[in-house]
């Protein structure tokens, strides 16, 4: 039995994939301790892992970001807001995250520490001592890999100096560009995608591996709505969502999609991914279009096999869920890593990048109709779905864990 610590940034998009990993390792008989946000305690324990809460100074509720980080809401989406995120959402928790890991390791001599790629407090663990004197460190790429050099136009240069000082405060030195360190510092970096969805690069270290996306989380009890049979009535099915993070304002993408397709021959399913989402749609729109089927929560692994296109703001998990089922995309997102993901959708030929989170009606209607009427988008999405089957992320992780336990 291997002993594993899993550390996750306290946001749904980071916790969900690591919970899938935790559940698989528990199923294989390993002891798993999960270090994460307090609100995820029940979900962690439900998969059979032991839960340890992050210190308060490293925890926050990603459903209320403007309340947790008041300054963030005053910044425009894009480069300025992204610079804030790098420094304060992912950077500031480093000392508390690292201390929490050290304390856990003092009680639990883990063979492996697995973290999401933006849990920066795991980097000092690798930097403070070499392999063989500490657990094997594994970083899981739940977002696109960072660029090779420079902050680029999307992040402020002062974030580099800011992070350097934070790491110096815990006694380690970043070995160069901070974002590159996310890949080069851990013993293993596992990107949850396939080569066909990533820009070609020749600068990646030998520790970098594509392992493919994780399987969808098992669907719990789900009562199919009365309209479910309409998914198979021959109409094109358009699914729209803003994911679980940037879904405060449904008028960015969800409501416009329902509106511009109201007179189309498509069935439009809106996955609001939040409690009371249907009532919110009704309050905004008044009369819900006759071809619209809004829902608070709906499992994608059940819905997407019926979809002809997904209109989304571009979360990494949601995009890969669509591609797993060979569903092409229309993507519009400008916060967090969403522009990077949208660019990969366009580059891979699996969909259209709207270039904005608030497209005008004509652009949105045109993009959806183009994807529906152009077979190449579907064909490319199906090619990636086939490529996915050649990878097994959970098996790759289990092999690393087993190897680390033997060495330990």
Among 342, 340, 323, residue whose Cα is nearest residue 332: 342
Rounded (10°) angle between helices 375-388 and 316-324: 100
> Looking at the chain, how many residues does it have?
408
* The pLDDT of residue 245: 63
pLDDT digits (tens, 9 = 90+) for 90-145: 999 999 999 999 999 999 999 999 999 999 999 999 999 877 789 999 999 999 99
Domains of the chain: 3-212+391-407 (3.40.50.2000), 228-388 (3.40.50.2000)
Q: Is 143 helix (H, G, I), strand (E, B) or coil?
A: coil
Full-model pTM: 0.91
pLDDT digits (tens, 9 = 90+) for 273-298: 778 877 888 888 888 999 999 988 88
* The pLDDT of residue 156: 63
Cα–Cα distance between 352 and 331 in angstroms, integer? 6
For residue 334, give every residue at least 6 positions away whose Cβ sits within 8 Å of its Cβ, in sequence order, or none.
77, 78, 356, 357
Does the pLDDT value for residue 167 go beyond 90? Answer: yes
Cα–Cα distance between 363 and 260 in angstroms, integer? 10
Helices (H), 265-315: 277-285, 300-303
More confident residue, 289 or 152: 289
Q: Residue 138 CB: number of other CB atoms within 10 A?
A: 24
* The pLDDT of residue 146: 80
According to DSSP, residue 150 is labeled S
* The pLDDT of residue 309: 98
Q: How confident is the model at residue 153 (pLDDT cuts 50, 70, 90)?
A: very low
């Amino acid at each position: 039995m291997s002993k594993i610590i899993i550390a996750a940034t306290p946001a749904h998009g980071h916790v969900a994939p690591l919970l899938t990993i935790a559940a698989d390792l528990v199923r294989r008989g390993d002891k798993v301790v999960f270090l994460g946000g307090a609100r995820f305690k029940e979900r962690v324990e439900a998969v059979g892992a032991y839960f340890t809460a992050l210190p308060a100074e490293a925890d926050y509720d990603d459903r209320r970001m403007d309340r947790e980080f008041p300054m963030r809401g005053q910044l425009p989406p894009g480069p300025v807001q992204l610079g804030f995120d790098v420094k304060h959402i992912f950077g500031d928790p480093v000392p508390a995250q690292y201390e929490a890991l050290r304390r856990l390791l003092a009680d639990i001599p883990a063979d492996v520490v697995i973290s999401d790629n933006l849990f920066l407090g795991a980097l000092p663990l690798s930097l403070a001592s070499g392999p063989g004197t500490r657990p094997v460190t594994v970083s899981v790429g739940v977002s696109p890999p960072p660029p090779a050099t420079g902050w680029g136009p999307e992040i402020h240069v002062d974030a580099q100096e800011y992070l350097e000082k934070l790491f110096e405060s815990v006694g380690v030195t970043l070995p160069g560009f901070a974002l590159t360190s996310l890949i080069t510092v851990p013993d293993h970096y596992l990107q949850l995608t396939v080569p066909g969805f990533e820009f070609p690069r020749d600068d990646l270290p030998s520790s970098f591996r594509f392992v493919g996306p994780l399987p969808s989380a098992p669907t719990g009890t789900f009562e199919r709505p009365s309209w479910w049979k309409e998914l198979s009535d021959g109409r094109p099915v358009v699914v729209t969502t803003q994911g679980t993070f940037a879904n405060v304002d449904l008028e960015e993408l969800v409501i416009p999609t329902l509106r511009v397709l109201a007179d189309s021959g498509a069935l439009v399913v809106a996955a609001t991914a939040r409690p009371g989402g249907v009532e919110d749609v009704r309050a905004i729109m008044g009369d819900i279009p006759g071809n619209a089927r809004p829902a608070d929560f709906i499992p994608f692994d059940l819905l997407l096999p019926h979809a002809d296109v997904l209109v989304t703001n571009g979360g990494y998990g949601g995009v890969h869920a669509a591609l797993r089922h060979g569903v092409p995309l229309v993507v519009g997102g400008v916060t967090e890593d969403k522009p990077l993901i949208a660019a990969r959708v366009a580059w891979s030929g699996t969909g259209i990048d709207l270039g904005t989170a608030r497209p005008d009606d004509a652009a949105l209607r045109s993009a959806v109709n183009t994807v529906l009427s152009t077979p190449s988008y579907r064909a490319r999405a199906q090619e990636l779905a086939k490529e996915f089957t050649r990878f097994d992320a959970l098996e790759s992780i289990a092999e690393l864990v087993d190897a680390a336990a033997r060495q330990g």
